Amino acid sequence: MFRHVPNIITASRLGLAVVFFALLSYYQHAGRGDPLMVSSSRVSLLNIAFIVYLIALISDFLDGYLARRWKVEGAFGRVVDPFVDKVLVLGTFIFFAGKNFVIQEEHANVVKTITGVVPWMVVLILSRELLVTSLRGISESAGASFAAAFSGKLKMVFQSVTILAILLYVNYFERRHDTMETYARWIRDICIWATIAITLLSGVSYVRRGVSLYQGKRG
């Protein structure tokens, strides 16, 4: 009976991702989109999105913890769990850099996103994931272990904190024009750039591991 509980939690997180993306897709910044979608509705959407993402994060910890405690780790969890994590994180950053969060600054011909995320950041994060996945596939096909490193887990923590910080900023501070908005924007930007930095560093770490394994095989 207990054997399938972690897998069920993992699979349910994919369902939560679908709900989360649906909420982000219906969000429209002020002045755009369906006129029936008043400001309070937009705020409610992001409130719900924040809660859904938080539940997904808790489930990510819970399925791994239960699998280890009950000693029921299996191939399903090893494959699906990181897959769902990547779908959730990458999909969220794609939405954050997309048209639903684009604004044009007043009195200036400048277009930006209210999330602070721009397309090149998404490309960098996606490139890192594709590179690490390729290295892992090559290494494990050769019989070498390529388990997740601490930097990879730290990267996931930074990405998740950044996503929550962005949701809070857009929901509660973006429309304010005071000191609180400035501080909240600084926190948002610090989270984003910290995420970019740890993404690069973890990518370099995995590349070095891949090179070491390759050299060891040749030796």
pLDDT digits (tens, 9 = 90+) for 23-54: 999 887 754 544 444 444 555 788 999 999 99
Compute the average pLDDT of residues 149-176: 89
Token pair in block for residue 98: 């997309």
Domains recognised in the chain with CATH numbers? 2-213 (1.20.120)
* Higher-scoring residue by pLDDT: 36, 179: 179
Average pLDDT over all residues of the chain: 84
* Higher-scoring residue by pLDDT: 79, 7: 7
* Higher-scoring residue by pLDDT: 158, 26: 158
| Confidence at residue 3, expressed as pLDDT on a 0 to 100 scale | 73
CA–CA gap between residue 36 and residue 55 (Å, rounded) = 29
